[in-house]
Structure 1
Amino acid sequence: VEYMLVSFDHENKKVQLVLNGEDVLETLQEKGERTNPNHPTLWRPEYGSYMIEGTPGQPYGGTMSEFNTVEDNMRKRREEATSVLEENQALCTITSFPRLGCPGFTLPVYKPNPVEGGASKSLFFPDEAINKHPRFSTLTRNIRHRRGEKVVINVPIFKDKNTPAPFIETFEDDEAARAAKPDHIYMDAMGFGMGNCCLQVTFQACSISEASYLYDQLATICPIVMALSAASPFYRGYVSDIDCRWGVISASVDDRTREERGLEPLKSSSYRISKSRYDSIDSYLSKCGEKYNDIDLTIDRGIYEQLVQNGIDHLLAQHVAHLFIRDPLTLFQEKIDLDDANESDHFENIQSTNWQTMRFKPPPPNSDIGWRVEFRPMEVQLTDFENSAYVVFVVLLTRVILSYKLDFLIPLSKVDENMKVAQKRDAVLQGMFYFRKDICKGGSAVVDGCGKARGGSEPALEEYTLMSIDTIINGKEGVFPGLIPILNSYLENMEVDVDTRCSIMNYLKLIKKRASGELMTVARWMREFIANHPDYKQDSVITDEMNYSLILKCNQIANELCECPELLGSGSAFRRVRYSGSKTDSSS
């Protein structure tokens, strides 16, 4: 879970991002893992100097009762980090800070430095908001240098009643004037993407083949869960027409040259590269996924042949050879000469800067950690309850995929199309997504509505169709059984204690109701909050005071100091023990 540190100025009705993440991190690590190696939380740095990341100290186990510990673990993380904050500061799980890049958005206040010498040269985002660890500023500088210009992010503006038509911002900076599009919110720095927060889950598989299978199956689920978790409708003080951060973060680290982007003939560059290094996956890894690999894959041919000659499976070899068309973005001098038989830093240097919807993680050398798969598209939610619900939903889905041998595979080009739809405003209700109709390859009798899978070597058009998220999640008679009914069927066949079953049912109820529209996504709730704010002029502008009201409300909801039935439902089904986990005056 990634967190933002904010400070409330109740008198002036302003909220700012606090640039003391490094100090908070140092305190938490000193009190935690350095004192006790078995501490329940590991705290790690993140891109923004106003951000920290918390992960469980140990992996969760494989029993059903473990599902009942996730929320408690997240609560303890929040309480632990909140306990070291100063008065009027809070730890927020918000995906994007609405006024990121607006004048005075940081505490202390710094001005951006767009002239030579700065890491990002941004017109909006000061370098002081980047984590002080050299990795982060080096990444920022090198992406810009490699690209040959600043990164360009253009997000469509939400056209409200009084939004200027066309909406055009004027910039004295020539590069910005060329890059900014009409009717779009323009941003120019890595911080606008990597300075957002997300929720990620890593699973350990029992073998390389199981990990490949899970990687492929979950890749098709990524856009669905991303739309379900949509939580980022605001950028640089404006209301946008998207609900998810994915395209923003993808553009924020796009280091491709003009040649690689196909804008100029290839001369200095080796390849045309169709995507940013932060994007959806480009190839399935399992044998059953091979026939659905319909995206042209750019690979480093020499690396591919070296891997195949050394006995690496063709699909995994092309996956790695595709990752390695990218250059290293940072390299520390002490890491140049390493024993690759005992250290994986050279591989991880490339692997960890290919940020995709799924990540396939080989075991580290000399470790008892196995093959892992990371699920990366989710937006972070306001509360520990919601974040736990999404984690439990995805983990349960992995159990069901493996137990029932489910098959969600569709052509990868259709998954890419789903990724584009998933980011749009209200995609959870309005979007239609390609999804496989018959997910039971083996004709499992356990799941109602599943039939035998078709044979044949080519994916047939009738294998998949366009469905709403409500149909995919909750099912529709004669069309699709629904993921939640399948999970319920699985749970009925498992021995689960009453407490755990009750918790899981509450989590699944949240997912079910978000999919049907009975409960709002965080993005929809935030939009309605701003639209109904007395200061909002229906012009797509979010003022300091509106931002203060929104983040204060988010903080109260996160710390269970107020109800929010539109987001969480009402009554005991969605409530757990109340606690006060904030250092800010909630009565304001």
Structure 2
Amino acid sequence: MGLLSEGSPLTWEETKAHADHVRKHGIIQFLNEYKRLRDRKKDVLYWGDEVEYTLVKFDHEKKVARLCLRAEDVLNELQKEEKNHPDDHPTTWRPEYASYMVEGTPGKPYGGLMAHFNLVEANMRLRRNELKQLLGKDEHPLALTAFPRLGCRDFTTPLTTPTPEEGASRSLFYADPVIFQGHPRFSTLTRNIRERRGEKVAINIPIYKDKNTPSPFIEDLSKYGDNGESQSAAKPDHIYMDCMGFGMGCSCLQVTFQACNIDEARNLYDQLTPLCPVMLSLSASSPVYRGYLSDLDTRWTVISQSVDDRTQEERGLKPLKENKFVINKSRYDSIDSYLSCKTHNDINLIYDEEILHKLKSEGLDDLLSRHIAHLFIRDPISLFSEKIDQNDEEDTDHFENIQSTNWQTMRFKPPPPNSNIGWRVEFRPMEVQLTDFENAAYTVFLVLMTRVILTFGLNFIMPLSKVDENLQKSFKRNALMDEKFCFRTDILTDCSPPEAEKCVIECCEGKTCTSQNQFKALTIDEIVHGKDDYPGLIPLINKYIDMVEIDVDTRCTIQQYLNLISCRASGKLKTTATWIRDFVTNHPDYKQDSVVPDSVNYELLLKCSQISDGEITDSTLLPSTVTSRTTDNIPKAMSKVDAYLNNKNARNGEITA
């Protein structure tokens, strides 16, 4: 969750009047913190996860499942124990966008010991149990990315009624009480994004065209009270949604890492960026929106469109007059620049020249200056009257106001003021999974990848334009099995910019490469398990595990998690998205018309609940006797890794875990 300042929220016009003030003082606050903390070093890796839960209520008599709008009451109880035991409580709870969502994290971050990997799943299970104890009969916490019938008639309990002509969202489908009411940030963001844009947000995602789906698929939105604005914004053969809640009402799994120092944080930020599309595809779990089967498997573009506050001028639809920049992306999107590598920043970066000059004149290097100056092309979209005037030597709210509303695939996070926390990076694209086992597996896999990257000195960096192309592919239905992704295969060496540019163009178009074969088009299976001279992510993790001191129990735990990732990547196990899609299309009440009726939604979520609680298993979704592939599949690649590590040891001394 982003910045949660307390106070009286300003209207958009009032916020706009203070936008330059916020930007000016936000930069001053960042510079003050940077100068104080740029040399801070932390010897121990700290890391933690964030899991967002959806509260669902079942009516078994009517056979319907509804979103349960009790998050505020539940959070109040959860936070009582946390406040009573601030130093040793094992869980932490925070509000999220919707009244049916809560976010749970470990009470304290995990450390650098391998044995800490044994704690992740147990803590996730504890969080789920804490939630369950506070819920009523037939109410369940689900780690569910997207509620399938969000925005349909009567999708909440208690029932809510949209108000298209008034309120924060003015949505045809999503009533304001569904937005979390316990903090003004969420309704304020909803209102100000709409007002800044000058119209409602327009979310269009392709519908899955089944046998009986109308062609073209065009909804009559007048029955929802549309005055014509939505009908003109809705695209044929697309599912249309019209407010922030459809995106920010989705749940995800995020992982934050504390680095040793600012340079290591910048390196991790860069090296993890090419893995964002890979992990999004591997964790795909959201194929249904507003009661329709979509032709996508992931939520990312839905959220991106849901908070796109760019005006028509900023979207390039009108000449610039009131605004300063044509901005290429929504404020929720992929990153636009690396922080430690100049070579592959091949995206046209939009930044504020004045801010860039200010940062560089204060001693910041060009890459970090451009990153911050790019973030600060955005306006603040939530501001509180009590927070306008701040002490720039002590406060960072103006900086965080802009920083925390740039919702990108990766986030570079300076240390908070008045704390002993170090420089951090946040990995944001993954979709949440149904079970604690799965969420622990994805978390541990990613943490191990950071250890592999830093210990082996690997280089996954590739042109950002290709990362963006990969991200677009990762949205698609069954992308895990059907798509090939441009990926760096020569991860042990660098090559000069001209060779890199030539190589990415030729290799990823399937032509013969005359350069160093740095980039190739690979399936997710090949990225995870290796191909030819490229060793693969899991074999690299296994090589790292072989090098460090680890007990038998921890190794067994890790291997179970790697087994899940391996089987998902190879297609031996379904992604949650494929599993949900197959459940819907094989249900007798599904009419092959792309519509997911109440009865299908009820039985789907009931099965999700039973799987989450361990009452039933599904061997197509979770591993049983399936075994993962090993490093033995690619001995040539691993021998190359061994030779590289031996040379590195000779140059730099022994590598330590």
1:459 aligns with 2:500: yes
Q: CA deviation at 1:480?
A: 2.1
CA deviations over 1:1-49 (Å, ceiling 9, x no partner): 0000010000000000011101000010013333443211110000001
Contact 2:567 2:627 in 1 (8 A): no
Partner of 1:202: 256
1:120 aligns with 2:169: yes
Q: Secondary structure at the match of 1:196?
A: coil
- 1:463 and 1:66 mapped to 2: Cα distance? 35
1:383 aligns with 2:435: yes
CA deviations over 1:282-315 (Å, ceiling 9, x no partner): 00000xx211000011101111111101011110
Partner of 2:568: 514
Partner of 2:218: 168
Report matched runs for 1:473-552 at 5 Å: 473-476=528-531, 478-552=532-606
Report matched runs for 1:87-98 at 5 Å: 87-98=137-148
- 1:571 and 1:557 mapped to 2: Cα distance? 18
Partner of 2:511: none
Matched residue type, 1:96 = A
- 1:238 and 1:3 mapped to 2: Cα distance? 22
Moved more, 172-181 or 352-361: 172-181
Q: Secondary structure at the match of 1:435?
A: strand
Partner of 2:525: 470
Q: CA deviation at 1:456?
A: 5.3
Partner of 2:302: 248
Matched residue type, 1:564 = D
Report matched runs for 1:215-294 at 5 Å: 215-286=269-340, 289-294=341-346
Contact 1:143 1:255 in 2 (8 A): yes
Q: CA deviation at 1:458?
A: 5.7
- 1:507 and 1:343 mapped to 2: Cα distance? 41
Moved more, 157-166 or 213-222: 157-166
Matched residue type, 1:467 = L
1:193 aligns with 2:234: no
Moved more, 231-240 or 458-467: 458-467
Q: Secondary structure at the match of 2:56?
A: strand
CA deviations over 1:262-301 (Å, ceiling 9, x no partner): 0000010100000000000000000xx2110000111011
Q: CA deviation at 1:161?
A: 1.0
Q: Secondary structure at the match of 2:124?
A: helix
Moved more, 371-380 or 530-539: 530-539
Moved more, 412-421 or 331-340: 331-340
Q: CA deviation at 1:58?
A: 0.6
- 2:623 and 2:89 mapped to 1: Cα distance? 34
Matched residue type, 1:201 = V
Structure 2 counterpart of 1:570, from 624, 628, 639: 624
- 1:523 and 1:467 mapped to 2: Cα distance? 21
Matched residue type, 2:546 = E
Contact 2:81 2:89 in 1 (8 A): no
Contact 1:33 1:41 in 2 (8 A): no
Partner of 1:439: 491
1:147 aligns with 2:232: no
Q: CA deviation at 1:334?
A: 1.3
Structure 2 counterpart of 1:129, from 178, 200, 203: 178
Q: CA deviation at 1:341?
A: 1.4
Q: CA deviation at 1:459?
A: 2.2
Matched residue type, 1:75 = R
Matched residue type, 1:472 = I
Q: Secondary structure at the match of 1:201?
A: strand
Contact 1:94 1:380 in 2 (8 A): yes
Structure 2 counterpart of 1:77, from 124, 127, 139: 127
- 1:79 and 1:182 mapped to 2: Cα distance? 44
Matched residue type, 2:99 = S
- 2:297 and 2:289 mapped to 1: Cα distance? 10
Q: Secondary structure at the match of 2:274?
A: helix
Partner of 2:425: 373
- 2:297 and 2:309 mapped to 1: Cα distance? 24
Q: CA deviation at 1:180?
A: 0.6
Contact 1:291 1:458 in 2 (8 A): no
Contact 2:567 2:626 in 1 (8 A): no
1:5 aligns with 2:46: no
Matched residue type, 1:374 = E
CA deviations over 1:529-586 (Å, ceiling 9, x no partner): 1111111111110111100000000000001000111010225989xxxxxxxxxxxx
Partner of 1:585: none
Matched residue type, 2:177 = E
TM-align CA RMSD? 1.2
Contact 1:42 1:56 in 2 (8 A): yes
Q: Secondary structure at the match of 1:292?
A: coil
- 1:291 and 1:147 mapped to 2: Cα distance? 35
CA deviations over 1:371-404 (Å, ceiling 9, x no partner): 0000000000000000000000100000000000
Contact 1:564 1:570 in 2 (8 A): no
CA deviations over 1:408-460 (Å, ceiling 9, x no partner): 0110000000000001000110111010020013xxxxxxxxxxx43456624
CA deviations over 1:137-169 (Å, ceiling 9, x no partner): 000000000000000000100011111111110
- 2:319 and 2:384 mapped to 1: Cα distance? 33
- 2:315 and 2:544 mapped to 1: Cα distance? 46
- 1:341 and 1:499 mapped to 2: Cα distance? 48
Contact 2:339 2:371 in 1 (8 A): yes
CA deviations over 1:86-141 (Å, ceiling 9, x no partner): 1110000000000000010000011101003x100000001010001211000000
Contact 2:563 2:623 in 1 (8 A): no
- 2:549 and 2:236 mapped to 1: Cα distance? 57
Q: Secondary structure at the match of 2:171?
A: coil
Matched residue type, 2:179 = I
Matched residue type, 1:121 = R
1:423 aligns with 2:475: yes
Matched residue type, 2:173 = F
TM-score (normalizing by structure 2) = 0.84
Matched residue type, 1:143 = I
- 1:87 and 1:546 mapped to 2: Cα distance? 21
Matched residue type, 1:30 = K
Contact 1:506 1:573 in 2 (8 A): no
Contact 2:285 2:298 in 1 (8 A): yes
CA deviations over 1:307-330 (Å, ceiling 9, x no partner): 101011110110000000000011
Gaps of 5+ in 2: 1-50, 504-516, 629-657
- 1:548 and 1:567 mapped to 2: Cα distance? 19
Gaps of 5+ in 1: 442-452, 575-588
Q: Secondary structure at the match of 1:290?
A: coil
- 2:357 and 2:335 mapped to 1: Cα distance? 21
**Percent of pairs identical after alignment?**
61
Structure 2 counterpart of 1:60, from 102, 110, 113: 110
Q: CA deviation at 1:494?
A: 1.1
Contact 1:291 1:457 in 2 (8 A): no
Moved more, 144-153 or 488-497: 488-497
1:394 aligns with 2:449: no
Matched residue type, 2:253 = L
Contact 2:90 2:106 in 1 (8 A): yes
Partner of 1:46: 96
Q: CA deviation at 1:465?
A: 1.5
